[in-house]
Structure 1
């Protein structure tokens, strides 16, 4: 049994913390919204009143937070992890943040006597709930090896992709691919509907060919059902596309399609859909063809 402080009990962090608790670990959770700790308590975990309270006595500190500033503050702030964790504590950052920030924070953690790996995840809410996440890990070999038994509790695919920050670089690439796939799926559905195709039948046959993808399998039904309840919010994908475009510019890499998709995601957010699932990118695509509205996204009478 490992004592784990888990900071950030949102859509992703909550089920991940629950899996760790059910696996027999002593999980102490903290979230800025205290009531979010209830599912963890029901799963056998405990709730802390503050970040420092969660961290004291923990062998591992896991983070699942929205953005680079949040992770930086939780780690390096006056009441942060680096100030309160015991020497040798292993920090696992499941958040999706900038690669350069991840590498810098790992260096700060090492200077404070802690070990840190970046372990962003892919798979969305369903993947977190089913312990089927894909986890791309950056860090020192020994630290990744120490974390692997815990990573394998919450993830189905766990791959060490390089040094600190590498996990975040691979996650940025993942988000680029996912957003591009959602955009093209949306265009295809608008195109098919404009020609009077049977959309469920079309999705079925497309899924059986080269056009098939995890995005088509998971998102087409949500779009066709006008179900945009968040599994992964547009707001967060907008942040991630900012990471992609910024990191690409720093590396001198051209991402023409990615830059266009980033603008489409930004437009979706600007239209007030930031709190919806990233499949709501369809709503922007439909509007561009004059087929969308706030109440009906498929242009049906």
Structure 2
């Protein structure tokens, strides 16, 4: 049993923390408004700030929205590093910039800790079902220590390489996901505009080469027009910004990624920053002056 400080109880973090509690680990978190009743009933304890959480923990897990949020939690006033004990394992499961991750890892290592970047894929459903894909950047020792905890929250755990490699893999994942969601949206929009039954089109496509989890899950969202997140467009925008910034530094063209980002931006401009990323369909529908299924 480990004493774990878990910081970031959002859509993904809540069920992930719940799995760790169910496995018998002791969890503390930072006090942030009303605590989730389910987690409270399982015994999670609230403390005043990340420093206090670090002082009470042998392992720190963070899953927060963006690079500056991770930096603030770890190194801001009252941050984790101020309460870090020698040998503490710090696992960041956020999706953030790979280069910044390498810098964070160096600072945690210098402070006596062991840093692991372990971003996740699989969305809310994967978090609830403990079926996440987890992409790990760490030393061999860090991965060995983190793996038993990661296996409680995920199904596919891969050690990609050293610090920052997990985040690089996650950026690649988000490129593929964004372009596939766009492709599904365009396919269903085409079928609908041509007068076909989009539900039957999706059913047929699921039996062929176009089959994918995104066609299955997000295709259904598009047809049913259920755009509650899931995974918010504004968070996918953040991830694609990381991809495009990285591409510029690598002198690399990513035209499909740039196009998907523009469609997400169109959604945000129409008040959809907090829609599920399947809501990219709405930007395409506006261009076509046609709503899928109409």
**Number of the residue aligned with 1:278:** 277
Instruction: Give the secondary-structure state (helix, strand or coil) at the position aligned to 2:187.
Output: helix
The equivalent residue for 1:147 is: 146
In structure 1, the residue matched to 2:167 is: 168
Pair 1:80 & 2:79 matched: yes
Contact 1:41 1:47 (8 Å CA) reproduced: no
After TM superposition, the structure 1 = structure 2 runs for residues 110-121 of structure 1, keeping only pairs within 5 Å, are 110-121=109-120
Tell me the secondary structure at the aligned position of residue 273 of structure 1. Answer: coil
Return the TM-score normalized by structure 1. Answer: 0.95
Alignment of 1:228-267 (within 5 A): 228-267=227-266
Which segments of 5 or more consecutive residues in structure 2 lack a partner in the other structure? Answer: none
User: Is the contact between residue 72 and residue 105 of structure 1 (CA under 8 Å) also seen in structure 2?
Assistant: yes
Other-structure match for 2:9: 9
- Give 1:69's aligned residue: 68
Question: How far off its partner does 1:273 sit?
Answer: 0.3
Tell me, yes or no, if the aligned pair for 1:138 and 1:161 is still in contact at 8 Å.
Answer: yes
Is residue 9–residue 30 contact of structure 1 (8 Å, CA) maintained in 2? no
Alignment of 1:201-216 (within 5 A): 201-216=200-215
Deviation for aligned residue 1:269: 1.4
Q: Give 1:298 shift.
A: 2.9
Q: Give the alignment's Cα RMSD to 1 decimal.
A: 1.2
Q: Which digits, 9 at most, give the CA deviation of each residue in 1:116-145, with x for residues without a partner?
A: 110000000000000000000001110111
Higher mean displacement: 102-111 or 40-49: 40-49
C-alpha contact (below 8 Å) 2:51/2:81 kept by paired residues: no
After TM superposition, give the deviation of residue 88 of structure 1 in Å: 1.0
1:29/1:45 contact within 8 Å kept: yes
2:26 is matched with 26
What TM-score do the two structures reach when normalised by structure 2?
A: 0.97
**1:243-282: per-residue Cα shift (whole Å, max 9, x none)?**
0101111112221111111211122112210011000001
Report deviation, 1:98: 0.4
- Looking at structure 1, the residues matched to 293 and 158 of structure 2 have their Cα atoms a distance apart, in angstroms, of 43
2:226 corresponding residue in structure 1: 227
- 2:34 is paired with a residue whose SS is helix
Decide whether aligned partners of structure 1 residues 235 and 52 sit closer, same or farther in structure 2, where only a CA change above 3 A counts: same
Indicate the SS of the match to 2:270.
helix
Q: Deviations over 1:155-201 (max 9, x none)?
A: 00000001100100000000000000111111111100011111111
Equivalent residue for 2:292? 298
Rounded Cα–Cα distance in structure 2 between residues aligned with 1:299 and 1:157: 36
Does structure 1 retain, via aligned residues, the 8 Å contact 2:59–2:90?
yes
Aligned to 2:198: 199
CA contact (8 A) 1:131 1:153 kept: yes
CA apart distance, 1:40:
1.5
Residue 60 of structure 1 corresponds to which residue in structure 2? 59
